[in-house]
Amino acid sequence: MAETHNRKFFVGGNWKMNGSTDSISDLVNSFNQGVMSQSVEVVIGAPYVYIPLLASTLRKDIAISAQNCFTKASGAYTGEISADMLKDVGATWVILGHSERRSIFKESDFFIAEKTKYALSVGLKVIFCCGESLEERESNNTMNVVERQLEALIATISPADYENVVIAYEPVWAIGTGKVASPEQAQEVHAHIRTFIKERVSSDVAQNIRIIYGGSVNEKNSNVTATQTDVDGFLVGGASLKPSFFEIVNV
């Protein structure tokens, strides 16, 4: 694929349910001193309760993301957090459809698509996650699974919405396992996703949307994967909780 594009490299950190006021303050201090290239967009996905701390202390050239949100602005939804509230406290992104939400909390493709639509409608940007389990890969169903997850999104949002969406391909077997997908495995699925978006949405959206890889990314294995044609960045879990996250940011 020799076509030109201007997809800015994107590195997201997903802290998941980790951190404390002390540990996050230390990490923010370290990130705030790090040298960061202007050619990369960096977003940190923090637990809800630490978003205000990040909003008041984290450098302004790193954006703040939540890791989930609900489909309504307010109301009798005990325990839920709305996209409106996230915006109110300083988040500009939200991670939706992470495999841990899909598997542990039984979130359906449809529910995730609805959340995405709502979050976009209030002006949040969305990191939309997809990816297959080991069993699905071993039964040659990787592309079918990813297509099914994306199909729900495509049926729910409009072509103009993709400007504010990043797709994260995160194979479940690579998340938190130390078994990173090979650069070729990542490229194969990313290229497939791009072609699928081209067929189902438009060439323009396909060419401009960023497709990032997540699953056991660290500062040692990110450089080769970063050079793959259809890999536009990373979503980093465990390795985003350390100062060395900046080595991935500057890969």
Ligand X SMILES: O=C(CO)COP(=O)(O)O
The residue ranges that bind ligand X (CB under 6 A) are: 14, 98, 170, 175-176, 214-217, 235-239
Q: Measured between alpha carbons, how far is residue 46 from residues 20, 96, 109, 135 in Å?
A: 11, 13, 23, 30
3-class SS string, 53-87: HHHHHCCCCEEEEECCCECCCCCCCCCCCEHHHHH
Rounded Cα–Cα distance for residues 108 and 88 (Å)? 27
Residues 6+ apart with CB under 8 A from 106: none
C-beta of 160: minimal distance to ligand X in Å? Answer: 26
Q: Which is nearer to ligand X, 17 or 76 (CB)?
A: 17
Identify the active-site residue in 41, 114, 170, 190. Answer: 170
C-beta of 243: minimal distance to ligand X in Å? Answer: 16
Q: Which is nearer to ligand X, 159 or 176 (CB)?
A: 176
C-beta of 171: minimal distance to ligand X in Å? Answer: 10
C-beta of 74: minimal distance to ligand X in Å? Answer: 28
Q: Which is nearer to ligand X, 100 or 114 (CB)?
A: 100
Question: Is 163 annotated as catalytic?
Answer: no
Question: Is 41 annotated as catalytic?
Answer: no
Identify the active-site residue in 98, 100, 114, 132. Answer: 98
Rounded Cα–Cα distance for residues 8 and 18 (Å)? 28
Are the C-beta atoms of 161 and 115 separated by less than 8 Å? no
Q: Which residue's Cβ lies closest to ligand X? A: 237
Could you list the active site residues? Answer: 98, 170
